[in-house]
Structure 1
């Protein structure tokens, strides 16, 4: 069974985006950016909700061709284009860049994907991850906490109807006081 990880940048008060979908607080250091890039390189399939997909696909497909692109940005753009992606949405009709669109039940499709052979999967987007959390499909949580309080917005965690017990498997500190914590779900 494939491993499913939910990981994102998170404010100290638990949000992945501030009001108005503002992400200005989560600009990564070079070291953190490289960590995210290496994570993309080791992921077998990325699962996206519509909002995160639209943000990523508006920038990364051609980021390596932009004037002034850094070697790290060029590497990330290439890795991002190469990784197989699945976008879950009932409101968009086309996707590109090694991507497949699913407009049906996300939990059913994620369950099917987990049962397939292949590398680990990452899930990106609060709404999509919430459905996977409630269904008990998340195997690991990667929380990259930035030392900022944004006061509201899109929360990383959804309201749950049962407890989920976790085991801490890694901590790491990045520049600017950013802290990575990885937890595996105890089954």
Structure 2
């Protein structure tokens, strides 16, 4: 069975983006970036992979699940992760490319369980906070890239109501940049 992994950057005060969805305040230089590129090249969108000359095979994920807001970031691509099977959760989105499947919110839990039952690599949960909150019972692993910044307001790591879920810390790594990668698995 495959895992659903929520891999996300966050501020010290628990936000994954500014109120407008922007992520420009996070650190994009430093030794943590080399680790990200080496360990999670499949979690990078096509434009980042191209800009950094990354042509590595998928090692962690073969499927991505994202919310409409993450999919439709300004300047985004119609098919941002062509190296993965792409699913966008939305009740209003239409007109996506053939390699991007839209999943209505009401069908999401069943779709995630179906994807997890398939053979293959893990499933990358790529923002946002509302989508993550709706999937807490299905999340098997959290990989939090904690940046040494305080945003004060923004989109929280989990935005909405969900049942209490217990996770166990599996690994923590601190980088010279001040960024900390902490991995948790479902208890």
Q: TM-score band, normalised by the shorter chain?
A: 0.7 to 0.9
Q: TM-score, normalised by structure 1?
A: 0.79
Residues 7 and 124, structure 1, Cα contact 8 Å, conserved in 2: yes
TM superposition shift of 1:28? 2.0
CA distance in structure 2 between the partners assigned to 1:141 and 1:177 by the alignment: 19
Mapped partners of 2:72, 2:36: distance in 1: 20
Where is the helix percentage greater, Structure 1 or Structure 2?
1
Gaps of 5+ in 2: 44-57
Distance 1:152 1:181 in 2: 22
2-structure distance, mates of 1:83, 1:56 = 21
Aligned to 2:125: 123
Q: Which residue of 1 aligns with 2:112?
A: 110
Aligned length: 167
Using a 3 Å threshold, how does the CA distance of structure 1 residues 114 and 183 change in structure 2: closer, same or farther? same
Report the Cα distance in structure 1 between the residues aligned to 2:141 and 2:40, rounded to whole angstroms. 18
Which position in structure 2 is the counterpart of 1:174?
A: 175
- Contact 1:44–1:83 at 8 Å: present in 2 too? yes
In the alignment, the residues of structure 2 paired with residue 145 and residue 39 of structure 1 have an alpha-carbon distance, to the nearest angstrom, of 20
Contact 2:65 2:123 in 1 (8 A): yes
Deviations 1:119-153 (A, max 9, x none): 100111222111111xx100001110111111111
Distance 1:88 1:131 in 2: 11
The separation in 2 between residues aligned to 1:159 and 1:102, in whole angstroms, is: 19
Task: State the superposition RMSD in angstroms.
Answer: 2.4
Partner of 1:70: none
Contact in 2 for aligned 1:32/1:174 (Cα 8 Å) = no
After superposition, the Cα gap between the structure-2 partners of 1:144 and 1:114, relative to the gap in structure 1 and judged at 3 Å, is: same
Q: Which runs of 5+ in 1 are unaligned?
A: 62-76
